[in-house]
A and B are shown apart, each in its own frame.
Chain A
Amino acid sequence: MDATLLDASLLTQMLIGALLGLSVYLPLRCGQLSLATPGFYAIGGTLAALLSTRMSGLGGSDPTYPIGSVLLEMALAALLCGTLAAGIGKLVLRLRGVYLAIATIALVEILRVSTLNQEALGGAVGIFGIPQPFDEPAGYAVFTLLLLVVVCWLCERLERNRLGRAMAAIRDDELAAACQGINTERTKLVAFVLSAVVAGLVGVISAHFLNSWNARLGNFDASITTLAFVVFGGSRTWAGPVLGGLVLTALPEVLRPIGDLRLIVFGLVILIGPLLLPQGLISPSLLMWVKARLPRSNRTMQTHGGQL
C-alpha cells in the first residue's frame, strides 16, 4: 500500500474506529441495539479536553504532556462513563429493539445540544490546544493499538466465559435465558457499562490526538457510522467490528483522490455492503471455514468449550 495512504495518523483513526466498533458490539452481544457510544465518547473527550487544558497541575504546559496524566484522565473517564452508564442503563435497558435504539439516539442528542449551550464545556466553539503526550503520530498509533489489544482480549474472554455465554443466550432468546436462571438485567447492564467505558477511554485518546474537541464529535452521524462498523464487519465475533472499524474509517481517506464523490461512494458501500454480505465480512460461515483449517489440537479445545 502507498506509504502516504497508510500513515500513523490514519492508522490511529482506524484503530479508534475499531475500538468504537467494539463499543457498539458489546451491548449487541446480548442483542441490545444501543447507539449511545458517541455520547460516552464525547463525555470522555470533553473530560480529557477540560482536564488537560484547565488543570495546570496535570502538566498541560510541559513540552510533552505526561503520559501519566493521560492515564489518569482515562481512569476518570472510565469511572464517570461507567457510573453514568450504570444509572442510565438501569432505566433504558428495560426498552427493547428499536425503542432502545431511539432512546439512546435521544440521549446522544441531549448530551450534544447541552454541551453546545454550555460555555464551560466548550460551547459551540469547542476546546482548543489540547496538550500532546506524543511528539509523533506513531506514538498515538502504538498507544491506541495497546488499548485495542486489551479490549480485544477482553472480548475474546467474553466469548468463552460464563458472562459472555449468558450474553449470547440473551441475544438468542431473552425469555429463554431468563428461564435458565440468567440474571438478564444485570448481564445487559454489564455489557452496557463496558461499552460506555470503552467509548469513554477512546474519547480521551481522541481528544489528545485531534488536539481540539467540540460537541459535534458525538452526534447522530457518529452513532450510525459506528453501527455501520459492526454491521459491515459482522456482529458474531469481536473481529467483525474491529475489521469494520478499520476498513470503514480508512475508506473515505483512501477515496480522497476522487474528491467530492467520496462520500457518495461511502454511502453506496454502507448501502450495498449489507445486501451482499448480510452477516458482515466476518460471517459465521467464514468462521467455520477458518476453524476447519485450524490445527487439530486447537480445534478440539474449542469443541470442548461447547462451541457450535
Chain B
Amino acid sequence: MQDLIQLLLNGLSTGAVYALFALGYTLVFSVLGVINFAHGAVFTLGAYFTFLLIGGAVGANGLLAGLQLPFPLPFWLALPLAGLGSAAVALLIERVAFRPLRERGADPLLALITSLGAGVVLVNLIQLLVGAESYAIPTSSLAGLPAAITLLGARVRTVQLLLLAVAGLLLVALSLWIDGSRSGKALRAVAEDPVTAQLLGIPSGRMIQIAFGLSGLLAGIAGGLVGLSVSIAGPYFGIGYGLKGLGVLVLGGLGSVPGAVLGGLIIGLAEACVPAELSGYRDVLAYGVLFVVLLVRPQGLLGRVLPTKV
C-alpha cells in the first residue's frame, strides 16, 4: 500500500511536469502548426532563473563565476519570477525565430530549424555564462516546509506534493482561461484559422504572442520545479524533457489541451511503473508509446481527425 502510494505519487508528479511541458508545445502548435524546438531550452532557463533568484551562487566555470543575488528570494516568489523571465525569452524567440518567417509566408519547416537554432544559442549561452556543472536547488529554500511528510503511512517528499499542486493549479487555470474567457476564445479562433480570425477582428499576431508567452511561463515554472525536485543536471538537461514532451504531445493529440494533460499523466505513471532493473529502458517507454500511438491512432487519444483537404 505504501509502495503503491509512493509509486502513484512519483508517477503523478513526473507526469504533471510532462503535462506542463507538453502544454507549452501544444499552445504554440495549436496556433502556428509548428513545433517549437527551443521549448526545452526555455525550460532549462527557468530552472537556472529559479536557482539564481533564490540566491544560488554561480560555479567557477562560467563567465558569471561567483555571481550571487545579494538578497535571496523565497522559493514561492522566485518560481513565478523565473516563469516570467522564461516567458520573456519565449517572446523573444517568437520575435526572432518565428515572426519573420510567418510574415514572409515561408515554409513552416523552416521554423523547426530557426527555433532549433534559437535553442542551440540559448543552451550554449547558459553554458558560457554559468558553466556546465550541475546545480541543486536546496529544499531548504522551501522555508518552513518539512522535507518529507507521512501520508497514509507512506513517507512522501514535500517537493513532489508541491510539484503536483503547482502543476495542477496551473493546468486548471489554463483550461479555465482557454474555455471560459473572451481572450481564450480568441486564441481558439486563431488556432482554428488565423486568417479568418484576423478578418473577424481578432489580433492574430497578439494571440500568437500570448501563446508563446504562456508556453514560456509554463516551461519556466516546470523547469524550476524539476530543478527543485531532481537538481539541474547542466545546460542540456531540458533536451530530454523536450523529446519526451513530444511523446506526450502526440499521445494526447497534437493541439489538444486536455490531451496534453492526460498524455503527461499516462507517461509519467507508466515510467514510474518500470521496475528498477529495467530503469535503463525507462526513456524508451515514452518513445515506444509515441511510436505505437502514431501508427495506431495518429490523431492521439483526444485529438481530432481533420479531413483531407484538396
Contact = CB atoms under 8 A, between A and B. Distances in A.
B107 interface: yes
Interface in B100-114: 100-101, 104, 106-107, 109-110, 112-114
Q: Is the interface of B mostly helix, strand, loop or mixed?
A: helix
Interface residues of A, number: 42
A276 B109 CA distance: 15
A87 to B, nearest CB: 12
A274 B116 contact: no
A266 B127 CA distance: 14
A274 B106 contact: yes
Interface string B123-151: 01101100000000000000000000000
A106 B294 contact: yes
Secondary structure class of chain A's binding surface, majority of residues: helix
B114 A113 contact: no
Contacts, number: 125
Contacts of B254: 98-99
B97 interface: yes
B294 A102 contact: yes
Nearest to B125: A264
Contacts of B96: 271
A275 B115 CA distance: 11
B109 A231 contact: yes
B257 to A, nearest CB: 18
B277 to A, nearest CB: 11
B152 interface: no
A228 interface: yes
B101 A110 contact: no
A113 B283 contact: yes
Given A102-B294, A267-B124, A117 B281 contact: yes
Contact of A102 (B104, B120, B250, B284): B250
Interface in B69-118: 96-97, 100-101, 104, 106-107, 109-110, 112-114, 116-118
10 contacts: A95-B295, A98-B33, A98-B254, A109-B283, A110-B288, A175-B310, A263-B127, A267-B117, A271-B96, A278-B106
Interface of B: 33-35, 37, 96-97, 100-101, 104, 106-107, 109-110, 112-114, 116-122, 124-125, 127-128, 239, 243, 246-247, 250, 254, 280-281, 283-284, 287-288, 290-291, 294-295, 298, 308, 310
